[in-house]
Amino acid sequence: MTTPRIHIVTLGVDDLPRARRFYEALGWHASSTSNENICFLKGGAAVLALYGRAALAEDAQCEDRPSGFAAVTLARNAASKDEVDTWYSAALQAGARAIKPPQEVFWGGYSGYIADPDGHLWEFAFNPFLVFDEHGNLALPD
């Protein structure tokens, strides 16, 4: 059995060029394999793909429901509270909507939430109980 991995997270978007501009403003880099139908963005070990919302629902053969809280969030962990604040401000300047300003949280960390231009929720968090490896990936204990 192989090690479980997430290689690509695909977000259904209403306006692909707008979504691409937003994520590039946050430091993601579009791959040359991107085209007018899909954008692949490299961020560390993960790939974020942007694809038309209706086309993604059609491809998955499911109903395209109106957006709202989908019980899924994406998260980016920071090395400090200041880094969370920097990312949060950069996202707002790039067109994100503020959901929850960065603040101390009950579990001992610091986090805030934004919604990207298509309503996908991102948490920017500093968790003092987690460490990063030499490649900047979270190093979770076994």
Say if residues 9 and 49 touch (Cβ distance below 8 Å): yes
The pLDDT value recorded for residue 118 is 93
- Give mean pLDDT in consecutive 10-residue pieces for the chain, a chain of 142 residues: 80 96 95 95 89 93 83 91 97 97 96 95 94 85 74
Q: Is 42 helix (H, G, I), strand (E, B) or coil?
A: strand
Cα 44 to Cα 101: distance, rounded to the nearest angstrom? 25
The pLDDT value recorded for residue 52 is 95
Tell me 60's DSSP state.
H
Q: What domains, with CATH codes, occur in the chain?
A: 1-64 (3.10.180.10), 67-133 (3.10.180.10)
The pLDDT value recorded for residue 102 is 98
The pLDDT value recorded for residue 136 is 83
The pLDDT value recorded for residue 79 is 92
Q: Residue written as tokens 């579990």?
A: 107
110-115 vs 46-52, strand pairing mode: unpaired
Please enumerate in sequence order all residues whose Cβ is within 8 A of that of 19, keeping only pairs 6 or more positions apart, or say none.
11, 13, 39, 50, 116, 117, 118
Cα 137 to Cα 123: distance, rounded to the nearest angstrom? 16
Burial 87-117 (b: 16+ CB within 10 A, else e): bbeebeebebeeeeebeeeeeebbbbbbbbb
